[in-house]
């Protein structure tokens, strides 16, 4: 299991910083300097090294000799999720701050997030706006994700858009330790472990929020795990979303279900939910060439079909699967014009 190295006092700190590392010596010093520079100093840093061979644990241990807040557990490779859960069990503080060894905390990160928790006691996890670097690594998709992530701040916005993308950037997040542990900690599987945790928290009725300040510099690398690991592929996200959508009470019996988007790419993304038995009562599209066709016996209709006056019973639940970011805004405005409520009558699906 590995030996825990570092000083431990009898008094628990206010915050436990949880960081898993593997061969991070190239960025580790910069990360640790940003942690040492925090304006709020009542923390412990739990470093879970996952079998590094580049001197990472030795570098952490050297830091720990001069900073008793640093605690290291170095062990053989057991995978990120196992390392995080082992680390979570070592965290003594009621608030856990996640961190990655290639990122940088802004100096007031911990101070701001603790103040945010105090001002919003009903929240169980708090992220922040982030700044990605270096800029040359940011493609169009990442720039759009950052624009959306940094604009999705309020708890209701996060809940309403939870199926769109991961609303919190993991190394920017602080969460209540006991809440996450009571829900089973991190889960291992064919999915991104951070997004799965946010979905699980929301489904358990827990509230997520976000500080409006930029509190994290998020490093982008060609070999980052979210760029190379199949658990972060488009299909992995689609499978995970479908699993949680299938548990969502808004998709309950007796309410018509509508998929917006009848194109080939959209139909492929819907497939993960239809495979779980959730078939639409209609497909909506704006393309006149598609309207009037049938997909597996289900009609393709125009948006006008959604007008409340056409439905005497339950108003349909619309899942908007269209991936184009500009088109999502047009869809939302159209549905808002029909008095559909975001998060109640329609959901944007990433």
- Whole-number mean pLDDT of the chain? 94
Q: How far is CA 77 from the centre of its chain?
A: 24
Q: Mark whether 108 and 156 lie in a shared domain.
A: yes
Q: Are 186 and 85 in contact (CB under 8 A)?
A: yes
Using CB atoms within 10 Å of the CB of residue 284, give its burial: 0 to 12 exposed, 13 to 18 middle, 19+ buried: buried
Last residue of a domain, one of 179, 202, 232: 232
Using CB atoms within 10 Å of the CB of residue 72, give its burial: 0 to 12 exposed, 13 to 18 middle, 19+ buried: buried
pLDDT band at 224, cuts 50/70/90?
confident
pLDDT at 178 over 70: yes
Q: Mark whether 189 and 263 lie in a shared domain.
A: no
pLDDT at 308 over 80: yes
**pLDDT value at residue 325:** 79
Whether 67 is in a domain gets the answer: yes
Instruction: Say which CATH number the domain at 210 has.
Output: 3.90.550.10
Q: Mark whether 80 and 170 lie in a shared domain.
A: yes
Which residue has tokens 């570092």?
A: 6
**pLDDT value at residue 71:** 97
**pLDDT value at residue 3:** 52
Q: What is the pLDDT of residues 50-108, one digit of tens each?
A: 999 999 999 999 999 999 999 999 988 889 999 999 999 999 999 999 999 999 999 99
Domain hosting residue 174, numbered range: 4-232
pLDDT band at 21, cuts 50/70/90?
very high
Q: What is the pTM of this model?
A: 0.93
Q: Mark whether 227 and 278 lie in a shared domain.
A: no
Q: Mark whether 226 and 257 lie in a shared domain.
A: no
Handedness of CA 54, 57, 61, 67 (dihedral sign): positive
Q: Mark whether 16 and 134 lie in a shared domain.
A: yes
pLDDT band at 232, cuts 50/70/90?
confident
**pLDDT value at residue 1:** 41
Extract the tokens encoding 267.
């139909």
What are the backbone angles phi and psi of residue 13, rounded to the nearest 5°? -75, 170
Q: What domain count does the chain have?
A: 2
Extract the tokens encoding 63.
């830091």
């Amino acid at each position: 299991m590995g030996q825990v190295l570092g000083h431990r006092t009898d008094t628990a700190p206010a915050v436990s910083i949880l960081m898993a590392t593997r061969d991070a010596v190239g960025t580790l010093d910069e990360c640790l300097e940003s942690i040492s520079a925090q304006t709020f100093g009542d923390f412990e840093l739990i470093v879970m090294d996952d079998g590094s061979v580049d001197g990472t644990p030795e570098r952490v241990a050297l830091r720990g000799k001069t900073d008793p807040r640093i605690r290291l557990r170095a062990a053989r490779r057991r995978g990120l999720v196992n390392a995080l859960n082992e680390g979570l069990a070592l965290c003594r503080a009621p608030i856990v701050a996640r961190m990655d060894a290639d990122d940088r905390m802004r100096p007031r990160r911990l101070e701001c997030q603790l103040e945010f928790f105090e001002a919003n006691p009903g929240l169980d996890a708090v992220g922040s706006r982030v700044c990605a670097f270096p800029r040359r690594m940011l493609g169009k998709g990442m720039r759009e994700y950052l624009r959306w992530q940094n604009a999705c701040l309020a708890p209701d916005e996060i809940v309403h858009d939870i199926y769109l993308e991961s609303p919190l950037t993991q190394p920017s997040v602080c969460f209540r330790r006991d809440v996450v542990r009571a829900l089973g900690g991190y889960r291992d599987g064919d999915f991104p472990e951070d997004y799965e945790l946010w979905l699980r928290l929301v489904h358990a009725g827990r509230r997520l929020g976000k500080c409006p300040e930029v509190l994290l510099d998020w490093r982008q690398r060609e070999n980052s795990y979210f760029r190379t690991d199949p658990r972060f592929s488009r299909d992995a996200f689609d499978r995970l979303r479908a699993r949680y959508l299938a548990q969502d009470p808004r998709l309950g019996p007796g309410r018509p279900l509508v998929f917006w988007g009848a194109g080939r790419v959209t139909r492929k993304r819907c497939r993960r939910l239809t495979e779980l038995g959730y078939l639409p009562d209609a497909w909506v599209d704006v393309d006149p060439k598609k309207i009037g066709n049938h997909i597996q016996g289900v009609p393709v209709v125009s948006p006008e079909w959604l007008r409340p006056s056409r439905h005497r019973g339950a108003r349909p639940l619309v899942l908007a699967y269209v991936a184009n970011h500009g088109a999502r805004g047009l869809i939302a405005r159209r549905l808002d014009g029909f008095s559909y409520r975001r998060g109640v009558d329609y959901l944007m699906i990433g």
